Amino acid sequence: MSFFEKVSLAASDPILGLNAAFYKDDRPFKVNLTAGVYKTEELKTPIMQCVKTYEQKLVHEEDSKEYLPIDGDKKYLQEVGKLVFGKEFWRDQSAKISSFQTLGGTGALRVAGEFFHQEIQSGLYISDPSWPNHKGVFSQCGFSVGTYPYYDLQTNTLQFDKMMSALKNLPAKSIVVLHACCHNPSGLDPTLKQWEEVAEVCRSKQLIPFFDAAYLGLDKGLEEDAAAIRLFAEKGMEMAVAVSFSKNFSLYGERVGALFILSSDATVAEKITSQVKILIRRNYSNPPLHGAKVISGILSHDAYRMSWELELSQMRERIAHMKRVFAEGLVSKVKTKDYRYLGNTKGMFCFCGLEKVQVERLIKEYGIYMTHDGRINVAGLTLTSMEYVINAIANVIG
């Protein structure tokens, strides 16, 4: 008899499970459009050249692998803080910001979720739809996770009026999870004017904004993609920001992220820091060293930073080009659906307007893998696979 014989078999992760199925598929021609990982035209997830170069410097210069503090590398947090909030805001307001290096963006979400559940007895709301792990992470923190309207799968539009109506009716102190840019999974973001309206509702209704910033630099550029976060921060709002460097530094396996919690004054920030540090200590004790050193080194040296921003712009341009070619191909091949909406989407993700049964046909008959709601990562497309994917989608739509 096993102590664990009553343990049930958990369902596969909706994204990583498809990844596993893709790798088991022995068909010679198959296409993976599931997980949010950047790929080159050769379907490689590269180490950025600026990272390789700085790592060589780091290997020669570093002389210790001692533990970092519980809240992480101070230089890293300073450089990331300036990147997210802007140099002037960070210089003037950083005393009111509790800052933590985390295990990727997911680690930031989890730590913040535990803190919010411990300290603020309220509800937490995510967009409908949202990244599937949002609900899982926050449910594990103890929240009964609610949703607010965001994207209409039938019209492929942002349901901004319905979103605003829902936010206006939330109880005070509700935590509202917002995607800073490149909304996952829809690729549709509010305009800056709409973000102004969201900020005003959050202020007037006493809601707590919680930005998830996993794709900074992959839409228009670093400054533009941080605009919503900076808008809220400059209004003096108490809020939280989870940051990931998996995509924009291609440091997926290093698990480098950050959490910032903005409060009303330095005294409150000190108290928040003390409580979050306890949560971190009891969870993973302290964050890893290497990735943070690489990022802080690159961000703090002009030549390395210029190299990073150039490589990031090349990634951004490839994503935009793949999406443009994909949209044009679907418009020319599919006459029963208007695919021009794809031109309004931002970043790696978009919905390609398919029902679950059609997606299942793509997987079974063509070896084209995507999540069952039809969300795809356009960085998984290449000029070689593009026509095959477009023709397959046209065939299943009929």
Is residue 75 part of the annotated active site? The answer reads no
Q: One of 39, 96, 189, 247 is an active-site residue; which one?
A: 247
Among residues 212, 219, 323, 346, the one annotated as catalytic is: 212
Phi, psi of 274 (to 5 degrees): -65, -40
Whether 247 is a known active-site residue: answer yes
Nearest alpha carbon to residue 221 among 293, 91, 314: 314
Q: Pick the catalytic residue from 71, 73, 90, 131.
A: 131
Rounded distance between C-alpha atoms, residue 363 and residue 370, angstroms: 8
The residues near 214 (Cβ < 8 Å, ≥ 6 apart) are 36, 105, 180, 182, 184, 242, 243, 244, 246, 247
Catalytic annotation on 96?
no
Which whole-number Å values give the CA distances from 99 to 40, 240, 276, in the listed order? 33, 10, 10
Q: Are 376 and 339 in contact (CB under 8 A)?
A: no
Q: How far apart are CA 296 and CA 76, in angstroms?
A: 5
Output helix, strand, coil percentages for the chain, rounded to the nearest 5: 50, 15, 35
Looking at residue 362, the DSSP 8-state letter turns out to be I
Q: Which residues are catalytic?
A: 131, 212, 247
